[in-house]
Structure 1
Amino acid sequence: MILEDLYRLLKSGHVLAQGIVDTMTQPTIVLDHNLCVTTANNAFVRTFEVERDDILGQNFFDLGNGQWDIAELRHLIGSVIPKAAAVIGFEVVHNFPAIGQRTFLVDARRLIHPDNNSTNILILFDDVTERRRHDAERDFIIAETRHRLRNLLAVIRAIAMQTETEDRTATEYRDILLGRLEVTLRAQELAATGEATDFEVLLRQSVSEPGAQRLHCDGPTVTLASSKVLAISMIFHELGTNAAKYGALSVPDGEIHVTWALEAGARDRTYLVCNWREKNGLPVTPPKRRGYGTELIEGTSAHLGGKVELKYDPGGLAAMIKIPV
């Protein structure tokens, strides 16, 4: 074999090897025993937006303003040849000069050679930026779902424990409990959107059918933060339930009139002042003892930083609810 044939053979082998490396879709480079770049594939050039000639012969740890110059990674790659070791999945998070904040997993292995004496190192880069972002979003969603479920179960347990059983049949207890759970779930659906909720929409939704048809509303447009939706919904559901059982909605001609306005308060707070008035219903008298409904209405209003006044007028219940919005 003449020298020209040998040169042609070597050149052909080099072109074939480079072609194989360029075929790989992962960014890949080959380092010599001095950890300088001898080969970089097209994926590496595209991914890091560099010129091939600018990185050939450069020390790996000097590339890209030293973004790979990490003590632990330097130690791991330095041990690949003498210890026949391998680096698998070393994570690098860096703000790269041309492509911005990215996350890469780095693999490094000794390049296979027939006589097993190669001192070259093959390094592959796996861009997992989007994968990490999706994982973080998934973990957040799972954590948020668990948090909401715990909160919802706590609310359900509180409702079940505080719904009175005295002087009630099992059927009555079931219907009351299911009604309160239904309004809780509807309010949770509104709150889960994270968007502000229109007060009148929430009010009408909180009063069960067919009573909602006899609910007359008058007031300006008021939007409620999602954090207040469940509590306010429970207040008006309780008022509506009591009206259906004992008040205006328990007779065919009974009506409920609700008016509201916004009122400025201390420390730049704005309050929703709402007046609930039942008309044409059965005569009402103050209860002999405080029940769950009264405690829920007053306690929830206080929890929101507001207050409630209940007046048991003979002509029908009147309630004034004042809540900061």
Structure 2
Amino acid sequence: MPMTDPQRGIYPAGTPVGLAGLAANGRITSADGAMSRILGRESSDLIGRPLADLASPANRDSLLDAFSNISRTGEEQSLEVDFNRREGTVRVEVRLHKVAGEGATAPILAVLIDISQYIEAEAVLRDREERLRSALDASQMGTFVWHIDESRTEPDNQMRSLFGMDTDAMLSLDARSISNIVPDDRKRYSAAVARACHPDGDGVLQEDIRIRLADGTVRWISITGQVAFDGKAPKRMTGAVLDITHRKRIEAALRESEERHAFLLRLSDALRAVSEPEQIQLVASRLLGERLGANRVAYAEIIDSVAYILNDYTQSSASITGRFPVELYGHKLVEAWRRGETVVVDDVANDPQLDDADLGAYRDAGISAFIAVMLTKDSQSGAALGVHSLTPRRWTPAEIILAEEVAERTWSAMERTNAEAAQRQSEERLSQFTNASSDVLWIRDASTMECEFLSPAFEKIYGVDRESMLGEEHVSSWFDLIVPEDREDAWQNTEKARNGERVAFEYRIRRPSDNQIRWLRSTAFPMFDNEGHVQRIGGINHDWTALKLAQEHQQLLTAELQHRVRNTLSVIRSIARRTAQTSETVEDYAMHLDGRIGAFARVQAAVTRDPTAGIDLGLLVADTLLAATARESDQVSIDGPQVGLQPKAAETMGLAIHELATNAVKYGALSVPEGKIAISWKIADDGDDRNLVFVWEESGLSDLPRAPSRTGFGTELVQRTLAYELDATIDRQFNPWGVRYLIKLPMVERTIKA
């Protein structure tokens, strides 16, 4: 069992300890198995021999002096002795105790502690022993003889003191007789005594128990004893007791420290795995709550003296998530928060720190005891971690320290998360800005001209991979893209930016990807360090080639507009002239002219909306019918795939469809209730050629003449103009029930919009 030494402190667990009973002259009368193993001799070789004869000659006189002193004074003797063994010597601490009681067969109890291994490890353990020495110097040992058959113990005064007994009080080491043993230890100690007293065992008692003293304090006692048997009956136990309270406290503190560090490591790992503030609060609160067995743990961010709790851990209590003013829980909490202190209350109802006016808030929240760790950022902001109990509770220092450490780590995790989120948002905004920008954004090192950053627009404008331009070795590559005539001016302006000026200039580049000349406008500006030196230069390059080309193209558009206006006027003039030639009255002329110009205007309006897009044939048919007061209904059906017409083709087809619709309303299928018009088109393959086949078929009439008596402008427009303008072929049939037109248009680029 572990033993103590006034000089060295605690011996390591497992240090061999042997017991021997000695006669007054120092001869060995009894020895336990540990004694035999320490001295390397059989028990039979030890009994009857003077203990001093086994010591090395250099230590023999010291041991004899110790025997003389204990016989004369009765005081405990302690010394270190080298004993001879067959395989060498062993260093042993010998402690001699006067055994109380007259007529003892072994008036001296020798405790032999094998310290040879300890000495070898002493250099390694010296630092640890020095830390523990102050705690262990107070440790004291007592001795006893327990007359088992008489249920009577003869303790020395030290043992009585360790057990908190008066000098005349009776003591028995029977578990049933030690009244102040802690109940949780009684059963274990009783079992250890039973094993030691069993005739088939080794007769050794070695057990640690807790004793509750009269003042309520608890002391750890280590009891070691050797049982002597009379036959198979246990007769007597001789042994020693040692106060190991300090050792137990240190062991408990070490365990607690290791457990705390393991918990904090697990907490740190858990917090690193989450990135949202709500999850950080929940993870920290849950782990601490489970660790302390608390009813509630809540972390609050404090902003402008208002606490915000996003998540809390609860066990048999209600959640308090939400927002509330810090002053709700009293001025004591507010003052502590402003000073960054921890408030600990074991019993809310009886704590003098709290005013009666504050108790209602605690009662409403179900808080009877709490730890409040207050963390201050400034006078109005910070954080707090609360650990709550539904019942009064005495918080230990270790629990308070743990709560403070968890609060600090949670605070750090929240700060880290907020900083990372802000950094991500900033980077995302910058990335979105640079990615969305059609201009080239760039940054160069002012001293080396190394390009450190290029926005994605560089690849589109310059036609070169960005990576090929980054780095010091590519400084000249960028300027090599500038046309020779503009290169010197661009370099001089960049030098001005290196010298602290803000400059704007223009230059041209030849883009390698397509060999195009691009016009660029560049703004370059210096970027200063904290000392006002130009550390970097930045710039924005804008490709204004499109604007330049647009200016040139504007002249072309003006000419095209003039051409289109002349053509439009020519068409209108032709429509007006031909309409006049085929109209019998002014009213007839006005009606036809208005309808034809309207049809032409509708196509022009569609073209004007998007000159580059084709005119959908289906919409053209529907719009024309609608203008002629007809629409798709029981009388009119429209069917065909989506086909886009070029603007010129749409003009001609629109006029033709208008004429067909006008004739149908006046003379054809739409002039009688029973009339119907079926309009359809399809794309047909004719060998290597593809044609748009458009069919206008009327029905529901009767006794329609085979052919009209004369040909008007509308018929001429359908047959001649389509053929001339669009290379169309027209098949017209006059059936008794109605007219049928089949118009076949070649699917060519000038007619069909792909």
Please state which band the TM-score falls in when normalised by the shorter chain: 0.5 to 0.7
Aligned equivalents of 2:441, 2:684: Cα separation in 1 = 59
Aligned equivalents of 1:268, 1:182: Cα separation in 2 = 34
2:618 maps to 200
**1:132-211 alignment runs, 5 A limit:** 132-136=548-552, 138-139=554-555, 141-166=557-582, 168-192=584-608, 193=610, 194-207=612-625, 208-211=627-630
Deviation at 1:288, TM superposition (A): 2.8
- Larger relative contact order (Cα-Cα within 8 Å, sequence gap ≥ 6): 1
SS in 1 for 2:688: helix
The code of the aligned residue for 1:222 comes to Q
Q: Work out whether residues 616 and 643 of structure 2, in 8 Å CA contact, stay in contact via their aligned partners in 1.
A: yes
CA 282–92 in structure 1, closer or farther in 2 if over 3 Å, else same: farther
Q: Work out whether residues 243 and 249 of structure 1, in 8 Å CA contact, stay in contact via their aligned partners in 2.
A: yes
1:324 maps to 746
Aligned equivalents of 1:195, 1:245: Cα separation in 2 = 34
Match of 1:271 among 692, 695, 699: 692
2:645 maps to 225
The code of the aligned residue for 1:217 comes to S
Fraction of identical pairs, as percent: 25
Q: Work out whether residues 618 and 640 of structure 2, in 8 Å CA contact, stay in contact via their aligned partners in 1.
A: no
CA 53–141 in structure 1, closer or farther in 2 if over 3 Å, else same: farther
Match of 1:216 among 636, 642, 645: 636
Deviation at 1:177, TM superposition (A): 0.7
Q: Work out whether residues 705 and 736 of structure 2, in 8 Å CA contact, stay in contact via their aligned partners in 1.
A: yes
**1:112-151 alignment runs, 5 A limit:** 129=544, 131-136=547-552, 138-139=554-555, 141-151=557-567
The code of the aligned residue for 1:323 comes to L
Aligned equivalents of 1:66, 1:198: Cα separation in 2 = 45
Q: Give per-residue Cα distances to partners, 1:129-150, cap 9 Å, x unaligned.
A: 2642552464455444334323
CA 206–66 in structure 1, closer or farther in 2 if over 3 Å, else same: closer
The code of the aligned residue for 2:624 comes to S
Q: Give per-residue Cα distances to partners, 1:142-201, cap 9 Å, x unaligned.
A: 444334323322221221122133552222211111100111111222334232343322
Aligned equivalents of 2:635, 2:571: Cα separation in 1 = 27
Q: Which moved more, 1:237-246 or 1:183-192?
A: 183-192
Q: Which moved more, 1:312-321 or 1:188-197?
A: 188-197
SS in 2 for 1:70: helix
Q: Give per-residue Cα distances to partners, 1:214-253, cap 9 Å, x unaligned.
A: 6522533231222422222121111111122222223344
Aligned equivalents of 2:549, 2:444: Cα separation in 1 = 25
Aligned equivalents of 2:599, 2:710: Cα separation in 1 = 25
CA 174–218 in structure 1, closer or farther in 2 if over 3 Å, else same: closer
1:101 maps to 518
The alignment covers a number of residue pairs equal to 242
Q: Work out whether residues 628 and 661 of structure 2, in 8 Å CA contact, stay in contact via their aligned partners in 1.
A: no
CA 142–221 in structure 1, closer or farther in 2 if over 3 Å, else same: same
SS in 2 for 1:256: strand
Match of 1:241 among 634, 656, 662: 662
SS in 2 for 1:211: coil
Q: Work out whether residues 248 and 255 of structure 1, in 8 Å CA contact, stay in contact via their aligned partners in 2.
A: yes
Q: Which moved more, 1:279-288 or 1:176-185?
A: 279-288
Aligned equivalents of 1:67, 1:166: Cα separation in 2 = 67
2:714 maps to 293
Indicate the RMSD between aligned Cα atoms, in angstroms. 4.1
Aligned equivalents of 2:565, 2:703: Cα separation in 1 = 40
Aligned equivalents of 1:300, 1:271: Cα separation in 2 = 17
CA 324–279 in structure 1, closer or farther in 2 if over 3 Å, else same: farther
TM-score (norm 1): 0.59
Q: Work out whether residues 206 and 237 of structure 1, in 8 Å CA contact, stay in contact via their aligned partners in 2.
A: yes
Q: Work out whether residues 203 and 236 of structure 1, in 8 Å CA contact, stay in contact via their aligned partners in 2.
A: yes
Q: Give per-residue Cα distances to partners, 1:45-97, cap 9 Å, x unaligned.
A: x9996665579xxxxxxx934947439x99xxxxxxxxxxxxxxx98543389
CA 231–131 in structure 1, closer or farther in 2 if over 3 Å, else same: closer
Aligned equivalents of 2:582, 2:651: Cα separation in 1 = 27
Alignment gaps of 5+ in structure 2: 1-439, 450-477, 490-504, 523-540, 748-754
The code of the aligned residue for 2:601 comes to L
SS in 2 for 1:101: strand
Aligned equivalents of 2:628, 2:694: Cα separation in 1 = 25
Aligned equivalents of 2:613, 2:604: Cα separation in 1 = 12
Q: Which moved more, 1:251-260 or 1:307-316?
A: 251-260
Alignment gaps of 5+ in structure 1: 1-45, 56-62, 75-89, 106-125
